[in-house]
């Protein structure tokens, strides 16, 4: 495990709720909720690199995301299964329900 990524057993629910309380971070988590890894530079709304890095750091330190470096690119994924085991139903409660496809 990456030393910057805490074990979820060590993360209080208040830290997770704080991380999810920000609309930008919640949007990033929503984007990641589809699964897989995403290049960090493409997450969230258009914003300065330092601001995006700050939001990703808060999510990582709250145990919500995992980051992997490949060359000069960082890839981020949501630790959905682990979060779901530690805080059952939390992500489902805060993430918007996907829209039904048009018929």
pLDDT digit string, tens, across residues 65-80:
999 999 999 999 999 9
103 assigned to some structural domain: no
| Rounded Cα distance, 91 and 17, in Å | 10
29 assigned to some structural domain: yes
Q: Please report, rounded to a whole number, the percentage of residues in the chain having pLDDT higher than 70.
A: 89
> pLDDT at residue 27 above 90?
yes
Tell me how many domains the chain contains. Answer: 1
Q: How many CB atoms lie within 10 A of CB 28?
A: 26
28 assigned to some structural domain: yes
Categorize the per-residue pLDDT at 5 as very low, low, confident or very high, splitting at 50, 70 and 90.
confident
Q: What is the pLDDT of residues 44-98, one digit of tens each?
A: 889 999 999 999 999 999 999 999 999 999 999 999 999 999 999 999 999 876 5
58 assigned to some structural domain: yes
101 assigned to some structural domain: no
Both tokens assigned to 80: 């959905």
Q: Determine the structural domain holding residue 85 and report its residue range.
A: 8-94
Q: What is the CA radius of gyration of the chain?
A: 14
90 assigned to some structural domain: yes
| Rounded Cα distance, 49 and 89, in Å | 31
- The model carries a pTM of 0.87
Q: Which of 58, 63, 24, 19 is nearest to 44 (CA)?
A: 24
Q: What is the CATH number of the domain that holds 30?
A: 1.10.10.10
Report the pLDDT value the prediction gives residue 98, as an integer from 0 to 100.
57
| Rounded Cα distance, 78 and 66, in Å | 6
């Amino acid at each position: 495990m990456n030393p910057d990524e805490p074990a979820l057993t060590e993360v209080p629910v208040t830290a997770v709720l704080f991380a999810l309380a920000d609309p930008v971070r919640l949007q990033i988590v929503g984007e990641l909720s589809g699964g897989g890894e995403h290049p960090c530079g493409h997450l969230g709304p258009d914003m300065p690199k330092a601001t995006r890095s700050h939001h990703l750091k808060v999510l990582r330190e709250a145990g919500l995301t995992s980051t992997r470096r490949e060359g000069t690119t960082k890839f981020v994924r949501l630790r959905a299964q682990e979060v779901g085991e530690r805080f059952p139903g939390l992500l489902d409660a805060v993430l918007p329900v996907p829209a039904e496809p048009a018929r």
